[in-house]
């Protein structure tokens, strides 16, 4: 195909949301698909907050120190984050629906194993498996949503983000109630409810077979195969990224779980070697697990770091807020969960408001405002005492989380070439989810060294860094690199 012909198709391939397409004539499509996919992510986001309330009961039942139960939370975040770029790469060959089915089945199996585990080690293995399924499911959900035209995409992503934030915010309430009435095993098994909810997605199967690149067209698939995206999975690249992420979360929680010094040093050395290995792999294998052209795209790393810092702020507050409310009121986890419901409810208007704001401001300007909300929310929880300030601060971080997820995931297709969209979504969501694991790990690790308010104040530095990035690294939104700009001339 000639250079002129390939460039002539760019307006239809790249800014497809600007060109008339069949989807644009179906105005409610974004809402319907968003509601369907939002319902599917509910059990996964509940799985982040609900187990935190049950950890004391798990420690007593399994006769393990409370600090050791922190791995129940870390295991889920870790494999969820790692599964996202893997699923993003597989989307070149598989449709979002196929990834969705595989992810939900894995999620349900792992959660059932965790709920039935006779020992902490089995519970952790189950959470590792369930987290991997959750990560794949999230990528499938976002791949289907981002295939929509721009306005419908924002609408669907806003609904999905609102559902996720509401579910995670209400996780403490549900976790407290289920622990009190059904026991801690039922709490760990909650994500298995995604399996029957998958049936509700069957009517939308046609929409779920579309993705941003690989499944979208023959052209996208052919070019993806040419550049290596659809080739053999880069096991070495995936391994070094996994070790790096696992080492980071382990080191942050080393003090809270009582990790021996020699083991801590080994983990630190493994993380350092993995960082060097990842740098070398990206340079030596441009089409590897972490493609150089994707992370080199202007604004991509900034978007991932902004999302990761906002997620860290939100999940760090969500981890600490229930216990702070219990201390302030003298109540239990159920009471803390009830008080946090208004904060979780803020995700609904936040998700809807994002669509309006992105019509008037750039995504980078909106992300700066959301990062600022998160900074203020974390500091409010850190500085003020009493249940009302804690709920208000948590509500601000909820708004930041719900809005940032929709804005940044929607920005990703604008930052890379058309056939790199799924890979970019996987890596971007990996950075977001990794931030969600870093936040609680950092607060837990620091809380054993400094008072809780100081730990939260330190946590606020992360979304503050995201705010600075939003203000200083602002590539032109809506401008994607032409395919040939990052790959050389077409063959």
- Average predicted confidence (pLDDT) for the chain: 79
pLDDT of residue 484: 39
Contact 461, 398 (CB under 8 A): no
pLDDT of residue 64: 83
Render pLDDT for 121-146 as a digit per residue (tens, 0 to 9).
Answer: 899 999 999 999 998 998 888 888 87
Q: What is the mean pLDDT of residues 367-376?
A: 93
CA distance 296 to 362: 21
Burial class of 488 by CB neighbour count within 10 A (0 to 12, 13 to 18, 19+)? exposed
Q: What is the mean pLDDT of residues 55-76?
A: 80
Choose the most confident range, by mean pLDDT, from 114-118, 217-221, 232-236: 114-118
Least reliable range by pLDDT among 15-19, 113-117, 243-247, 316-320: 15-19
CA distance 424 to 454: 35
pLDDT of residue 208: 65
What are the residue ranges spanned by the domains of the chain?
A: 23-234+285-486, 235-284
pLDDT of residue 339: 85
CATH topology assigned to domain 23-234+285-486? Growth Hormone; Chain: A; (1.20.1250)
State the pTM of this model.
Answer: 0.76
Rg (CA), the chain: 21
Q: What is the DSSP letter of 475?
A: P
Place of tokens 């040939």: 484
CA distance 216 to 484: 19
Sign of CA dihedral 370, 372, 374, 380: negative
Burial class of 155 by CB neighbour count within 10 A (0 to 12, 13 to 18, 19+)? buried
Contact 34, 156 (CB under 8 A): yes
pLDDT of residue 67: 64
Render pLDDT for 392-450 as a digit per residue (tens, 0 to 9).
Answer: 999 999 889 888 877 887 777 778 887 788 788 888 888 988 898 888 888 888 877 88
Question: C-alpha distances in angstroms, 365 versus 178, 455, 475?
Answer: 41, 28, 11
CA distance 263 to 324: 31
Q: Within 10 A of 119 (CB to CB), how many other CB atoms are there?
A: 11
Contact 233, 289 (CB under 8 A): yes
* pLDDT grade for 54, boundaries at 50, 70 and 90: confident
Place of tokens 């397409």: 21
Render pLDDT for 264-275 as a digit per residue (tens, 0 to 9).
Answer: 999 999 999 999
């Amino acid at each position: 195909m000639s250079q002129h012909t390939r460039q002539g198709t760019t307006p239809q391939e790249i800014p497809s949301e600007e060109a008339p397409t069949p989807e644009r004539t179906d105005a409610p499509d974004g809402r319907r698909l968003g509601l369907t996919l939002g319902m599917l992510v509910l059990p996964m986001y509940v799985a982040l907050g609900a187990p935190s309330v049950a950890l004391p009961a798990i420690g007593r039942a399994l006769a393990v120190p409370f600090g050791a139960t922190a791995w129940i939370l870390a295991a889920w975040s870790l494999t969820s984050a790692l599964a996202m770029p893997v699923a993003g790469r597989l989307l070149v060959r598989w449709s979002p629906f196929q990834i969705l089915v595989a992810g939900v089945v894995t999620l349900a199996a792992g959660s059932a194993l965790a709920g039935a585990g006779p020992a902490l080690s089995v519970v952790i293995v189950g959470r590792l498996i369930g987290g991997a399924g959750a990560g794949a499911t999230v990528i499938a959900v976002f791949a289907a949503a981002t295939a929509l035209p721009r306005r419908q995409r924002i609408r669907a992503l806003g609904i999905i983000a609102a559902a996720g934030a509401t579910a995670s915010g209400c996780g403490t309430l549900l976790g407290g109630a289920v622990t009190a009435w059904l026991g801690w095993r039922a709490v760990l098994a909650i994500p298995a409810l995604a399996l029957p909810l998958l049936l509700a997605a069957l009517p939308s199967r046609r929409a779920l077979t579309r993705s941003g690149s690989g499944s979208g067209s023959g052209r996208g698939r052919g070019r993806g195969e040419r550049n290596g995206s659809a080739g053999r999975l880069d096991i070495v690249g995936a391994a070094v990224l996994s070790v790096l992420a696992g080492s980071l979360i382990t080191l942050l929680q080393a003090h809270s779980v009582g990790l021996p010094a020699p083991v801590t040093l080994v983990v630190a050395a493994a993380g350092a070697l993995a960082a060097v290995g990842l740098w070398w792999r990206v340079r030596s294998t441009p089409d590897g697990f972490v493609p150089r052209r994707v992370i080199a795209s202007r604004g991509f790393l900034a978007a991932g770091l902004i999302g990761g810092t906002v997620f860290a702020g939100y999940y760090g507050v969500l981890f600490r807020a229930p216990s702070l409310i219990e201390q302030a009121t003298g109540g239990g986890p159920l009471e803390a969960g009830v008080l946090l419901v208004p904060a979780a409810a803020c995700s609904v208007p936040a998700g809807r408001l994002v669509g309006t704001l992105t019509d008037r401001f750039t995504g980078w300007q909106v992300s700066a405002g959301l990062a600022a909300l998160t900074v203020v929310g974390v500091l409010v929880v850190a500085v003020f005492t009493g249940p009302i300030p804690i709920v208000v601060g948590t509500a601000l971080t909820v708004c930041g989380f719900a809005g940032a997820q929709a804005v940044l995931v929607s920005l990703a297709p604008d930052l890379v070439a058309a056939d790199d969209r799924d890979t970019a979504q996987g890596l971007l969501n990996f950075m977001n989810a990794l931030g969600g694991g870093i936040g609680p790990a950092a607060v837990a690790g620091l809380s054993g060294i400094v008072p809780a308010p100081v730990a939260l104040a330190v946590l606020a530095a992360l979304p503050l860094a995201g705010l600075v990035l939003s203000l200083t690294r602002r590539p032109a939104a809506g401008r994607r690199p032409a395919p040939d700009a990052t790959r050389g001339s077409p063959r």
